[in-house]
Structure 1
Amino acid sequence: MEKGQEIAASPGRAKVSEQHAIDVAIVEHGSGDGKSIDAAGANAEKERLAVVEEPQKKKSTRVAALDAFRGLTIVVMILVDDAGSSYERMDHSPWNGCTLADFVMPFFLFIVGVAIAFAMKRVPNMGAAVKKVSVRTLKMIFWGLLLQGGYSHAPDDLAYGVDMKMIRWCGILQRIALVYFAVALIEVFTTKVRPTTVRSGPYAIFDAYRWQWLGAFIVLVIYMITTFSLYVPDWSFVYHNDGDINDGKRFTVQCGVRGHLDPACNAVGFIDRQVWGINHLYSQPVWIRTKDCTFSSPETGKLRDDAPAWCLGPFEPEGLLSSISSIISGTIGIHYGHVLIHFKTHKERLTHWLSMGFALLLLGILLHFTNAIPINKQLYSFSYICFTGGAAGIVLSAFYALIDVWGLRVPFLFLEWIGMNAMLVFVLAAQGIFAAFMNGWYYESQDKTLVNWIQQHVFVNVWHSENLGNLLYVIFGEILFWGVVSGILHKLGIYWKL
């Protein structure tokens, strides 16, 4: 892994390493073996001057808030993925609205943008930069297909392999790859028109990076026009679920509308059905927990007798059109990175970050509660982008104030450690690969494994509650465990990057 954002402050000035790690599969910005890009002459020296620390600070430090923010996102992902079945109110919102789980994806994309700002701060060779961005994008797509395409059935099912007629083409890493590719290329291609210093004024930073915002505006226009003008015809599907009474049945969903934002007839789902094919979409969408589908909403329950056909239909939460709109989340993140680079004092950074964060948050809330554009993660609506982007900016500001300004670093060290090795924890923990590896050694039957024994006897039986026991297992058996492992790897200087 490349060197993270190292800050060496000296009386009157501080230096930051030019090569910021961006393990963009989950965007790393940790420590490692990278080195600064050397350049001769006074101009090169000038570009390396005080970017991150107050002039009066004498000791070496780093912007630990970025690692802690990334680590928090991984922790929340593990929590909602593995404990969401026990406490579904913190799992993804069935349709409109925003729950704890719905912050994970935009937080990932936000930190992708922040990291890109540092990784592309200087681009000595445009061709090499484009090649590096392209290779990393392809790596993320490969890992996404391997982990979420259906080949791995971890952690409980020890079978492997996927029917190519049913492979899922989209996923978390594929979306991150698209956002990274788009935002990073804009940053690379505009390197010659970007200023080394930004003039004073409340809007100067926006003007200095207007090409990035122009790209976000074009993306928004494409998304809005497509969402509200595309005609969505009727569609049908065959339901596949072994042992289910509806297995093998064909259902027809009646649409014939434009501009709908409901589960059945929206443009986001229509485009995915046309581009990827209906058999290659996510077969267990969260909308089955809506009030239209079950009386147990927002939790999973028995399907209503009068449930519409679309309740059993597939829907891709990381689809094409929604991934295009998610580029704006990366653009918001890269703006926060630009502020960190150009603004010299804590007060300047926090003032700008918090002002923008609360403005985005309020705009998202306004759009949602006026029913103009509901907050919706599945559609990745504009109000959802604003709401979660604002929340990301506020959380980063809070971490920055607590850790980098006030020096309260110790309570957040485990988040830093996880953030420095986010890709490793994502693959082994969040995707269940390590648990599947441990489950490979079972006794008599595949349900008699070490992982299941610990979960049942150390947590569930002790607390006499399946739900609480599962939650405590996720907190202590997964999150705390991987925090300790990440800390050990950090001390050994071991990091996994793409």
Structure 2
Amino acid sequence: MNNRVISVDIFRGITIVLMILVNTPGTWSSIYAPFLHADWHGYTPTDLVFPFFLFIVGISIVFAYHNREVSGSTYRKITIRSLKLIGLGLFLGAFTLNFPFVKDFENIRFPGVLQRIGVVFFFSSILFMKIHWKALLVVCVAILVGYWLWMGFVPINGVEPTFDRAPHNWANYIDLNVLGIHMWKADYDPEGVLSTLPAIASALFGVFTGLMLKSNKNNKTGLLFGLGIGLLALGYIWDLYFPINKAIWSSSFVLVTAGWANIILSVIYYFSDVKNKKFGGVFKYAGANAITVFFLSSFISKLFGLIKVDGTSLHGWLFKNLYVQDFMALKLSSLLYALTVVTFYVLLAYVLYRKKIFIKV
């Protein structure tokens, strides 16, 4: 515990809290703009949350496996953890209250947040264990450039490809042909097959940051901040040729989100690890059981949507009867509901932390 970087725990906790906040509004029909995803190109604060978590996954890989012996046992543990994450995600996608508690096959969504975390963790961990960081940097660049060339220049059945939401977008095309009806939308999935490739690069940027934090370099705050600014600038330049887009996880999106992650982490690192200021404890609690808290929030939210009360879902009933008030804007009511949910899980994380219960997936 003495070797932990406090800022990473705090940043992980902030990310989990934001993931729960944006996933559990009172009503999806009334949400403040910053808590919505971009329609397609561009990004909002909400679009930063998931790549931030993958970035932290990369940092965690460094701290978990930096001095670990490369062995079959280590690879087995990595594989088992990845399969657990994928299994939990598939469970969330398939669960229903009707016996035998599994949706009809045609209604199950195969991709998802936990599934992507599992796949990204697996490949990023194996790459980190197998090759030197300089070779890892080459792999990261190759992923981003290769993805851009594939998405932007390889024809689809003789048709020029596009980055827009269309049948001749490579990410959408592959998802439709591989996943079929098992997607979030009829024409694409934001956690789809092809877009998982650049998502691995998001975690690899976290690996590079983790190596920097583990190093003996001076002025890590400045290095993190400078790296963040550099990645942000490169991302915006690349946006001119490959638009920033979360739905297809464009290469410019990877750079911009990694840039913001380093900038934000540098600020937290300065106050928590350099100046030893006592702050962010509430987020540290959530970060200590991040996957557990996120899974519970997703599962309970799903239950609240499935359980019926007076002809509506339990979620809808609670929101309508406790939060919708004549003197309050509906968007504010929706936000207050989400904040209540977040408060509950932060308190749960605090209890787990105080009792020294740390559930590893």
Which of 163, 170, 174 is 1:261 aligned to? 163
The one-letter code of the counterpart of 2:82 is T
Moved over 6 A (4+): 438-442
Query: Secondary structure of 2:312's match?
Result: strand
CA distance in 1, matches of 2:171, 2:39: 16
Counterpart for residue 129 of structure 1: 74
Query: In the aligned structure 2, how far is the partner of 1:225 from the partner of 1:136?
Result: 32
Question: How far apart, in 2, do the equivalents of 1:454 and 1:269 lie?
Answer: 37
Contact kept in structure 2, 1:228 and 1:260, CA below 8 Å: yes
Higher helix share: 2
The 3 A distance-change label for structure 1 pair 160 and 212 is same
Instruction: Specify the alignment match of 2:184 in structure 1.
Output: 282
Pairing 1:487–2:350 present: yes
Instruction: Tell me how far 1:398 sits from its aligned partner.
Output: 1.1
Inter-partner Cα distance in structure 2 for 1:152 and 1:214: 44
* CA distance in structure 1 between the aligned counterparts of 2:304 and 2:30, rounded to whole angstroms: 23
Task: Report the alpha carbon displacement of residue 454 of structure 1 after superposing the two structures with TM.
Answer: 4.8
Task: Identify the residue that residue 245 of structure 1 maps to in structure 2.
Answer: none
Structure having the larger proportion of residues in strand: 1
1:97-496 alignment to 2 at 5 Å?
A: 97-147=42-92, 149-152=93-96, 160-190=101-131, 209-233=133-157, 257-264=159-166, 265-276=168-179, 278-283=180-185, 313-345=186-218, 347=219, 349-368=220-239, 371-410=240-279, 412-429=280-297, 431=298, 433-435=299-301, 445=310, 447=312, 449=314, 454-461=318-325, 463-475=327-339, 477-496=340-359
| Amino acid in structure 1 at the alignment position of 2:197 | I
Query: Within 1, Cα distance between the matches of 2:86 and 2:291?
Result: 14
C-alpha deviation, 1:72, in angstroms? 1.1
- How has the CA–CA distance of structure 1 residues 179 and 151 changed in structure 2, closer, same or farther, with 3 Å as cutoff? same
Q: Look up the equivalent residue of 1:379 and give its one-letter code.
A: I
State how far apart, in whole Å, the 1-side matches of 2:313 and 2:256 are: 44
CA contact (8 A) 1:126 1:189 kept: no
- Residues 100 and 494 of structure 1: is their aligned pair in 2 closer, same or farther, counting only changes over 3 Å? same
Q: Which amino acid aligns with 2:300?
A: F
- TM-fit CA distance, 1:135: 1.0
Amino acid in the other structure paired with 1:164: F
Q: Percent identity of the aligned residues? A: 31
> What whole-Å deviation, never above 9, does each CA across 1:310-351 have from its counterpart, x for those lacking one?
xxx421111111100111111100001001111354x2x112
Give the C-alpha shift of residue 158 in structure 1: 11
1:110-129: CA deviations, max 9, x gaps? 00000000111112242111
Could you tell me how far apart the structure 1 residues matched to 2:343 and 2:100 are?
28
Report the CA distance between 1:462 and its aligned residue. Answer: 7.0
Provide the TM-score with structure 1 as the length reference. Answer: 0.67
Structure 1 pair 464/351, CA: closer, same or farther in 2 (3 Å)?
A: closer
> How far does residue 229 in structure 1 lie from its aligned partner after superposition?
3.1
Q: Scaled by the length of structure 2, what TM-score is found? A: 0.91
Q: Deviations over 1:178-225 (max 9, x none)?
A: 2111111012223xxx5xxxxxxxxxxxxxx11211221332243123
Segments of structure 2 that go 5 or more residues without pairing to the other structure are none
| Residue pair 1:158, 1:440 contacting (<8 A) in 2 also | no
Deviation per residue, 1:340-376 (Å, 9 max, x gap): 111354x2x11211111000011112222xx311111
Q: Which moved more, 1:114-123 or 1:267-276?
A: 267-276
CA distance in 1, matches of 2:81, 2:345: 25
Distance of aligned partners of 1:437 and 1:111 in 2 relative to their CA distance in 1, 3 Å threshold: same
Aligned to 2:7: 65
Any gaps of 5 or more consecutive residues in structure 1? Answer: 1-5, 8-15, 17-61, 195-208, 234-255, 284-312
Query: Which position in structure 2 is the counterpart of 1:79?
Result: 21
2:276 partner SS:
coil
- For the residue of structure 2 that corresponds to 1:338, the secondary structure is helix
* Secondary structure of the corresponding residue to residue 321 of structure 1: coil
Structure number, greater radius of gyration:
1
Note the C-alpha offset of 1:274: 2.1
Amino acid at match of 2:192: G
Question: For residues 314 and 448 of structure 1, what CA distance do their matches in structure 2 show?
Answer: 28
Q: Is contact 1:361-1:386 (8 Å) kept? A: yes
Structure scoring higher RCO (CA < 8 A, sep ≥ 6) equals: 2
Cα distance 1:101–1:439, how it changes in 2: closer, same or farther (>3 A)? closer
Equivalent pair of 1:113/1:334 in contact (CA under 8 Å) = yes
